[in-house]
Structure 1
C-alpha cells in the first residue's frame, strides 16, 4: 500500500473497536486522514465499512516494529486497542502500550489514549479531578496505573507527547461490548427488560461525544502541554434505577421491567468463564459512586460535547437492532413520557 503524505494524518490502533471507530469518524470530520492498523486489513475494512475512509496498514499492536512503521509521518497516534472480552489483560495491555510509545517516540506524533476510572479507589467519589491520587483496587486497575506511569516516563525522559482522555463506562452505536449489551434484556429484536447492577451513581460516556472531544482537543495541539490529562464527565447516572427509567423513555415502554442484575449467577459461573471473573472483579464500580470532574476540560474547550441521554440510548438501541429508526412513542398515548446520551 502506498501512503500519500497529508497535512494531518492519524494512525488509529484498534480502529475496529468501540472508541477507535468513533475517534476515527470524529477526526475525519475535523479534516484528518486516517490510517488503520490491522492484522487482517481486508477483514477490518469490511467490518468498518465504506462510510469511514481508512488507509489500512497490516500490522499487530503487540509488535512494536509494525506500529513504528505504520506511524511514520503521522501527527497523531490514537491507541484504542483493548483485550477482547476482558481477557488476558496482563499479557496484552502493557506490551501494546510499549508498542505505541515506541511509535510516538520515533514519529514525534502526539499519542492519545482513552483512560478509565479503574485507577481509583472505590471511595474516590463522584467528582474525581485529574490530580486525584490513584489507588487501584483491582488487577486491571493496577495495570492501568502502570500503563499511565510508562506514558509519563516516556513523556518526561523521551519527550513523547501524551494525551489521556479519561471517561467512565461507555455506550453508543457500534459499541457491541458496552454495558448496554449485558444490561438490556432482549428477545425477538426488542428490549424486554433492563438490569440494575447496583444502587450507586455511575459514569457513562456516549462514544460519539467522546470521539468528538478527542478531535477537538487534538485540533488545538499548540495549546496542549507535552503531557495532558483531561476528564470527561459524560452521563452521570445518579441512582441505579435511573438508567432503567431512561431506557423506558427511549423505548417508549413506560412499564419496561427493571430488575436487579443476577450477580449470583455471574459469581457461580465465574470459575468457568474468564469474562465473568473479570466482570465480578469490577462490581465495585456499581456499588460506589465513582465519577469524573470535567471542569478542566470545559475550561479548555469551552464546553464538553454532550448528547441527551435518551437520544443516545435510542441511537444505541437502534444500532443493536432493538428499535426501529423512528421517534419513540409510548404504547399508550395518554401516558406520554419525556425523552437522554465509556473501556477500557
Structure 2
C-alpha cells in the first residue's frame, strides 16, 4: 500500500503504535529521536518491516525537514520532553512540521487530537464540527495548534486530525490507565471519574489501525480533515474496572476513587498538581466522540473485544 511516512514521537505510545500499523500496511517508515541509536535499541521491532531511525530533535526545524525529505506523511505524535513547557514548545514543534511538510512538497501532517479543545460541561458529544471552547491553558494551545494546521491546509499543506479518548493498551505507559487506573503492581483499581460518569477510552492498536487506514485513503480526505475515534464508551465508569477484575481473575480487587481533593489542595503551588488539576473537569463530565466522519471514510472502526484488548494490555496469554 503506502509510500513513505515520517513518525515524530515513535518512542511514545500512539507514535509507536501508528508506526507498527504503517509497517504492517507496507509503508516505508522513518522515525526521528533525539538519540536515534538508543531509540532503535529499545524498539521492540515489527515482523512487517524495519523502522528507520534518524537522530534529530522535533524542536530543530532542519532536523525535521531532513528526516521528512520524500515523505508523503508526517505523523506529529510528539510531546514536549517530560510533558513540560507546553506554552513554549508545542507550537514551535508544529511549525517545524508544517515547514518540513511544505519543503517535502505538501506532505500531509497527521495529528493525534485531544478532547482538551472542548468544554466537557458544554460538549457531551464531540463531532468534527463541534465549536472548540477550551477551559485550560493546554486546551487553548491545542486549539491554536489546530488553527495553524487549518491555515497551512489553505496554503497547500494538508492535515488529518484523529481525536480519541484516553489511551490504554500495550506500549502506553504514559496514560491514565497505566499510571492511575491499573497501575503496576496492580493492588487496587483507582477510578478518576465521579460516580456514574461515563468516559471514552481508546485501545491503542485499534486507534493506530484507524490512523493507518485513513492515511491509506488520502484521496478521500479533505485538505483539513478532522475525525473522531469513538473507541470504548464506559457509560457510568464501572464497565472498564469490572472488565479489569474479570480479565485478571480478581473479582475482589479493591476499587478506590482518585484523590482529586488532594490535587486541588496542592495545585496552587504549581508543578504537576497544577497540570493535573486542569484535567479534572474531563473526569467530572461525560464526553463521547462521534465517529460518523471516520465511518464515512473507513466503513467501520476497528474494535477489538474489550476482554481481548485488556489481556493484550496486561500481556496475559
TM-score where L is the length of structure 2: 0.93
1:198 to 182, 193, 199: 193
* 2:144 pairs with 1:149: no
2:275 to 254, 261, 278: 278
Write the distance in 1 (CA, Å) between the matches of 2:224 and 2:77. Answer: 18
- Equivalent position of 1:33 in the other structure: 28
- Equivalent position of 2:242 in the other structure: 245
Q: Map of 1:1-344 to 2, 5 A cutoff?
A: 8-51=3-46, 53-107=50-104, 108-156=106-154, 158-184=155-181, 190-199=185-194, 200-270=197-267, 274-318=271-315, 325-326=316-317
Residue 207 and residue 7 in structure 1: after superposition, are their counterparts in 2 closer, same or farther (change >3 A)?
Answer: closer
What SS class does the counterpart of residue 112 from structure 2 fall into? Answer: strand
Residue 203 and residue 85 in structure 1: after superposition, are their counterparts in 2 closer, same or farther (change >3 A)?
Answer: farther
How far residue 181 of structure 1 moved from its aligned partner, in angstroms, is 2.1
How far residue 212 of structure 1 moved from its aligned partner, in angstroms, is 0.4
Report if aligned partners of 1:86, 1:275 keep a CA contact under 8 Å in 2: no
Write the distance in 1 (CA, Å) between the matches of 2:224 and 2:31. Answer: 24
Which structure 2 residue ranges, 5 or more long, are not aligned? none
Write the distance in 1 (CA, Å) between the matches of 2:297 and 2:254. Answer: 41
Write the distance in 2 (CA, Å) between the matches of 1:50 and 1:169. Answer: 25
Aligned residue pairs total 312
Identify which range, 43-52 or 248-257, moves more after superposition: 43-52
How far residue 190 of structure 1 moved from its aligned partner, in angstroms, is 4.4
How far residue 272 of structure 1 moved from its aligned partner, in angstroms, is 5.6
Write the distance in 2 (CA, Å) between the matches of 1:184 and 1:154. Answer: 38
Residue 309 and residue 290 in structure 1: after superposition, are their counterparts in 2 closer, same or farther (change >3 A)?
Answer: same
What SS class does the counterpart of residue 91 from structure 1 fall into? Answer: helix
Residue 274 and residue 53 in structure 1: after superposition, are their counterparts in 2 closer, same or farther (change >3 A)?
Answer: farther
What SS class does the counterpart of residue 278 from structure 1 fall into? Answer: helix
How far residue 64 of structure 1 moved from its aligned partner, in angstroms, is 1.1
Residue 7 and residue 115 in structure 1: after superposition, are their counterparts in 2 closer, same or farther (change >3 A)?
Answer: closer
How far residue 140 of structure 1 moved from its aligned partner, in angstroms, is 0.4
Write the distance in 1 (CA, Å) between the matches of 2:237 and 2:278. Answer: 19
CA RMSD of aligned residues (A): 1.8
Residue 124 and residue 169 in structure 1: after superposition, are their counterparts in 2 closer, same or farther (change >3 A)?
Answer: farther
Identify which range, 268-277 or 289-298, moves more after superposition: 268-277
Q: C-alpha deviations, 1:141-179, integer Å up to 9, x for none?
A: 0000000000001111x2101111111111110111011
How far residue 273 of structure 1 moved from its aligned partner, in angstroms, is 6.4
How far residue 185 of structure 1 moved from its aligned partner, in angstroms, is 5.4
Report if aligned partners of 2:168, 2:177 keep a CA contact under 8 Å in 1: yes
Residue 315 and residue 84 in structure 1: after superposition, are their counterparts in 2 closer, same or farther (change >3 A)?
Answer: farther
What SS class does the counterpart of residue 62 from structure 1 fall into? Answer: coil
TM-score where L is the length of structure 1: 0.86
